[in-house]
Amino acid sequence: MENKITNRQVICDTLMNAAQTDKNITVVCSDSRGSASLTAFADAYPEQFIEMGIAEQNLVTVSAGLASCGKKVFAASPACFLSTRSYEQVKVDVAYSCSNVTLIGISGGVSYGALGMTHHSCQDIAAFASLPDMRVYLPSDRFQTAELIQALLQDTRPAYVRVSRTASKDIYGENMNFQLDRANVLSQGEDVLLVACGEMVAECLEAVELLAQKGIHAGLLDMYCVKPLDKETLLREAAKTKLVVTVEEHSPYGGLGSLAAQAISEKDPKKIINLSLPDSHMIAGTNREIFAHYGLDGKGIMESVCRILT
């Protein structure tokens, strides 16, 4: 049965669970408690919830101020605004001051679909990964999201977590093998290595099956930790094939593809192809329709790999 529980819902559940015993956990929203599925947190822990109104710059800097006083802050806002409107605030107040702030970018990538380019966040990996001390995570399903938030609750460094608006397909299960900053090997194959993050992992899993039907053996890495990139696992798995294909819901520039290509080409040069959203204004539709249009669904990824291999 298809999963209906969104990653943002899982974040709320995880934070509510932790907030029972940790009174420093503080959630800050920009009129985004509903869209971030954090209304339940706000209702249950009003003294640990702060509403900043539609003011994303203020959301981020106030969060850093709170963190400087010992608060463990989770600031949730649409990824499109967090990563562009408040970019300087993230650079200066969160990253530069190494504040204990986790930025939750909700409705990431093309989640908002037909709302258009203003609401897409296809440059967030590039923007945040280039900031010193900033970590960038795109969990691929609800189980990994829960584990990631649990892990981030244990440390005090800044991080950005991008999740989709819609429910992600299940990839893992309860008691999954999760290690912070370690990629998960989801498939082994000598013909091609797929490296993906976020929503693209499920699409790649489908592509792996479709490729297998054609006799092509594909490996798959879930590189949810885009920064710090798990170079060790990446290089180990890449060494097994002649072709690496990265897949991301992001601009072609500065995202997982760029980071992975940089890491591989430094140590083990080989053919690396990046499948991404285009460097152009995008077609309207649901996120799934947009993925399919740009060849980022399972079938499209399979077709691209076949084309590259022939």
Partner 1 sequence: MMNLEERAYGLRRDIIEEVYRSEAGHVGGDLSVIDILTVLYFKVMNVSPENWTSPDRDRFFLSKGHCVDALYMVLGEKGFFDKQEAIQTFSAFGSRYIGHPNTDVPGIEMNSGSLGHGLALGVGTALAAKMDHRTYRTYVVLGDGEMAEGSNYEAMMAAGHYKLDNLCATVDLNRLQISGTTKEVMCSDDMAEKFRAFGWNVISVEDGNDCGQLLAAYEQAATYTGKPTAVIAHTVKGKGVSFMEDNKSWHHGVMKKEQYEQAVMELEARRAELSDFKNQAEACGEKQARCGKEA
Interface with partner 1 (CB under 8 A): 26, 47-48, 50, 52-53, 55, 57-58, 61-71, 88-89, 92-93, 96-97
Provide the minimum distance between the beta carbon of 97 and partner 1 in the complex, in angstroms, as a whole number.
4
Provide the minimum distance between the beta carbon of 260 and partner 1 in the complex, in angstroms, as a whole number.
31
Which residues, 6 or more positions from 304, have their beta carbon under 8 angstroms from its beta carbon?
A: 245, 273, 275, 295
Which CB, 30 or 287, lies closer to partner 1? 30
Our CA dihedral for 166, 83, 101, 75, rounded to 10 degrees, sits at -50
Which CB, 65 or 285, lies closer to partner 1? 65
- 162/197 Cα distance (integer angstroms): 10
Give the SS3 label for residue 12.
helix
- 282/293 Cα distance (integer angstroms): 10
Which CB, 1 or 69, lies closer to partner 1? 69
Provide the minimum distance between the beta carbon of 58 and partner 1 in the complex, in angstroms, as a whole number.
4
Residue with tokens 């083990």: 268
Provide the minimum distance between the beta carbon of 62 and partner 1 in the complex, in angstroms, as a whole number.
4
Provide the minimum distance between the beta carbon of 149 and partner 1 in the complex, in angstroms, as a whole number.
21
CA 305 vs CA 5, 49, 171, 242, 297: distances in Å: 31, 46, 22, 12, 12
Which CB, 50 or 238, lies closer to partner 1? 50
Which CB, 6 or 89, lies closer to partner 1? 89
The three-point CA angle 206-2-252 to 5° equals: 45
